[in-house]
Amino acid sequence: MATAGSIRTLPDFSLSPRIDQVGVEERASRFTKRSIKKETKMNGLKLVLNMIDLTTLEGKDTDGKVKQLCYKAMHPHDAVDGIPKVAAVCVYPSMVKVAKKAVEGSGIKIASVVTAFPSGQAPRDIKIRDTKYAVNEGADEVDMVISRGKFHAGEYNFVFDEIAAIKEACGTARLKVILETGELGTYDKVRRASDIAMHAGADFIKTSTGKIQPAATMPVTLVMLEAIRDFYYKTGKMIGMKPAGGISKSKLALHYLVMVKETLGSDWLTNEWFRFGASSLANDVLMQIVKEKTGLYQSANYFSVD
């Protein structure tokens, strides 16, 4: 944020690149046609599982439900060896302390949604207090939502300043900025919002809250990955990516990994730089891993319902 007496020159975000809709959708479609061999598939499935943010964001969340989710995060499948833990557990700020204690010593991160999630409709001072509360409770990462109303009104500096203020409130916690791409409407706006978030200090850019449809899609994610690539070429700074919502099948998740590798390179193929916000994906990945190891599918009844 600007301080008294300081002068800040912001990029002209209205000049963000225009997106060729047909071109993006054709490129995204091509990633789904890559063949994946058996050994590569198993490694990919384990990588997908290790990139998932297991999430519970409901008004009916209880301490018990959060503890159960944390147990699953640490022990995805007790009967099969060599299955990795997930990347993080994501909860509301009021549940951060419970989750933090439950995963203690596991290396799993605790993420928390902030800034009046999912609407983002709250005064900035409340959003900042919300963020500081989550961090003080122990959140390693915070997922904020942008003010889409201000964005649609063309108040890009307002959106920029708000993200910068939340980034400052995060302290050492990493900041994921949710664009809610299903409400943005066009690929051009997705690109512009991505540019604003990265210049304002986002450590990750994220598609969706999971509460609005459509959520993550491959073309939208490709637009955001290309924004990350261009930002990296200009600044040398790596930014993470998190598609969230709408990814429930392993095959689709593997296509996303192919897209990440071919757009950004192998450096982004770790949970430090790429995440899936898709709790229902975990069970399908586990079913596929067990199938690859044993040759048999287990019933969905063998896996906990989050």
Residue-by-residue DSSP string for 102-133:
HTTTS--EEEEE-SSTTTT-S-HHHHHHHHHH
Each domain of the chain, given as residue ranges in start order, spans 35-290
Q: Give me the residues of the chain with pLDDT under 70, please.
A: 1-9, 77-81, 295-306
User: Which tokens is 237 given?
Assistant: 């700074």
pLDDT at 9: 57
pTM > 0.85: yes or no: yes
Catalytic residue check, 206 = yes
| 169-to-52, 80, 208 alpha-carbon distances in Å | 25, 41, 22
Give the separation between CA 277 and CA 290, rounded to whole angstroms.
22
Task: Of 189, 188, 205, give the one whose Cα is nearest residue 275.
Answer: 205
- Taking the C-alpha atoms of residue 156 and residue 151, their distance in angstroms, rounded to an integer, is 6
The whole-number pLDDT of residue 181 equals 97
Give the Cα-Cα-Cα angle 279, 48, 221 (nearest 5 degrees): 80
203 catalytically annotated: no
Nearby residues of 79 by Cβ (< 8 Å), 6 or more positions away: none
Residue 251 to residue 248: CA distance in whole angstroms:
9
Q: What is the pLDDT of residue 280?
A: 86
Residue-level pLDDT at 2: 44
What was the pLDDT predicted at 302? 47
pLDDT of residue 167: 98
Look at residue 253 in the predicted model and tell me its pLDDT.
97
Q: Please say if 188 is a catalytic residue.
A: no
Choice among 53, 143, 195, 203 that is catalytic: 143
Out of 97, 109, 189, 206, pick the active-site residue. 206
pLDDT tens figures, 271-289: 999 999 987 899 999 999 8
For the stretch 229-239, pLDDT in tens is: 999 999 999 99
Which CATH homologous superfamily contains domain 35-290? Aldolase class I (3.20.20.70)
